[in-house]
Chains A and B, each alone.
Chain A
């Protein structure tokens, strides 16, 4: 056993370069921790898109309103899973709530999560669907589903105009609270990284803001893509004014996110503190492909170029659809790469600033590729279930009256 241990150590040592500390040999935050801010970001982005319609009365994006909420919910339900799988002790999550530790950022995040899920998202979706829920609870032929709706009515089937108007008001108020909550939710994820003083790749007060805007870009891209896909799958026509507006917000979020990232990079480069050498080696070496090519070129510049073209020129509908979906796919990949570059990239270099370790992703293990793929697709399965239970389309979907 001893000899094999030394063999393992020898093999591991051949994968590192320069000087690293013994405890840096193994990279602790695996691909699952890459997935976690990615999924949370999609939640925040989708919700912020939904609130555009609700709070800021951007009526053009209405066809995506419910879809955004359902997407936010689907992704939110799965968001903690990568963390749980990573830690391997899921039952301990409840201890966060049972014996809260106020000095732990991760523990407090549990409360932000529950607040956002229970008090904001679920209630808002419920208020928005209440009229249909009441109708379905009477008309649904499949009894388990009818029972589900029945329970969701909370024993009241009053859908008088006044009660609906009240719902609308409460819903709007909730969104006003929900917006900062969504920002907090994702800002928090950035904060977790940004507040790690010891790591110069993470420690910047800009981190929450950068995370937030890239979250918006990814969430909007996600909704845009799912909306277009669903229209295509259901053989419905795509509301062009809607996706044109969504694309505009998408472009804005992309530009802001990219600019902030560039500002940060510029600042680091200009300050050229003692950690700059290792960081430039990192970016030119291990992260070259995933950062310069995938994140910046493919994930930001090309989508900005394509979306910019759509703004500058009167392109035909067909071309716009292709451009929108291409930009959405590219930036979804790019933002995943950005999470990778932050999470894994930040662990590549040693605290000594003199060496690098490597990350070899497992294939089948608990934190392996398969596990990451399953967790990554799970929100879509949940979304499919939600779409089945709470179909966002239908004649009464846009019942809310236009604001005066």
Chain B
């Protein structure tokens, strides 16, 4: 017994470390972890409780009939208003509380090129132009109405 005391002390140290770990684990791991999957189940409710930032296209139409109507029949019909104007839930609830962004004249070319710049990795049928050659110096919207491009 005397000759294995040091081993017992080390074993005790290990037990202390393991118990310490289990206590730390108990304290650190969120209570709802693992209830649904390998994550914190409460996260779902927390995310649900976050304020909405996007209103969705249907919300815009009643007030912006002209743009909605124009877009609905154009080739931009698949693009949501908020893809170009940013998240606008606050604006849709109270229009004067948030003035929506709108690409300015000077930024227009870079703005449209985001989707229309010629790029080999885009589908060949997708309408694309090389902004350095395609009518340089003039804002795209001068010739292509953004809500009804032609």
Q: Which of B5, B33, B34 contacts A156 (CB 8 A)?
A: B5
Residues facing A in B30-84 (CB within 8 A) are 33-34, 38
Name the CB-closest residue of B to A156: B6
B125 within 8 A of A: no
Contact flags A153-165 to B (C-beta < 8 A → 1, else 0):
1111010101100
Distance A107 CA – B34 CA, assembled complex (angstroms): 16
Residues facing A in B1-25 (CB within 8 A) are 2-7, 9-10, 13-14, 17, 21, 24-25
A170 within 8 A of B: yes
Q: Is the CB of A2 within 8 A of B13?
A: no
Chain B residues with CB under 8 A of A22: 121
Contact flags B95-115 to A (C-beta < 8 A → 1, else 0):
000000000000000100110
Q: Is the CB of A156 within 8 A of B28?
A: no
Name the CB-closest residue of A to B25: A98
Distance A3 CA – B4 CA, assembled complex (angstroms): 73
Chain B residues with CB under 8 A of A130: 6
Where chain B touches its partner, the secondary structure class is: helix
Interface size on A, residues (CB 8 A): 23
Chain A residues with CB under 8 A of B110: 2-3
A97 within 8 A of B: yes
Chain A residues with CB under 8 A of B21: 97
Q: Closest CB of chain B to A144's CB: distance in Å? A: 21
Q: Closest CB of chain A to B107's CB: distance in Å? A: 9
Q: Which of B4, B7, B117 contacts A6 (CB 8 A)?
A: B117
Chain B residues with CB under 8 A of A14: none
Q: Closest CB of chain B to A114's CB: distance in Å? A: 10
A352 within 8 A of B: no
Distance A118 CA – B29 CA, assembled complex (angstroms): 23
Report if A99-B3 is in contact (Cβ < 8 Å); known contacts: A126-B10, A154-B13.
Answer: no
Q: Is the CB of A99 within 8 A of B6?
A: no
Q: Which of A101, A126, A162 contacts B3 (CB 8 A)?
A: A162
Chain A residues with CB under 8 A of B9: 154-156
Name the CB-closest residue of A to B7: A170
A123 within 8 A of B: yes
Name the CB-closest residue of A to B113: A2
A166 within 8 A of B: yes
Q: Is the CB of A154 within 8 A of B38?
A: no
Q: Is the CB of B4 within 8 A of A99?
A: no
Chain A residues with CB under 8 A of B113: 2
Name the CB-closest residue of B to A102: B38
Distance A156 CA – B14 CA, assembled complex (angstroms): 16
Q: Closest CB of chain B to A255's CB: distance in Å? A: 40
Chain A residues with CB under 8 A of B25: 97-98
Name the CB-closest residue of B to A155: B9
Q: Is the CB of B38 within 8 A of A158?
A: no
Q: Is the CB of B28 within 8 A of A98?
A: yes
Q: Select the residue from B3, B13, B29, B110 with max chain A CB neighbours within 10 A.
A: B3
Give 5 closest A-B pairs by Cβ, nearest first. Answer: A156-B6, A163-B3, A154-B9, A162-B3, A2-B110
12 contacts between A and B (CB under 8 A): A98-B29, A99-B29, A99-B33, A99-B34, A118-B14, A123-B10, A154-B9, A156-B6, A160-B2, A163-B3, A166-B7, A167-B7
Query: Chain A residues in contact with chain B, CB under 8 A?
Result: 2-3, 6, 22, 97-99, 101, 118, 123, 126, 130, 153-156, 158, 160, 162-163, 166-167, 170
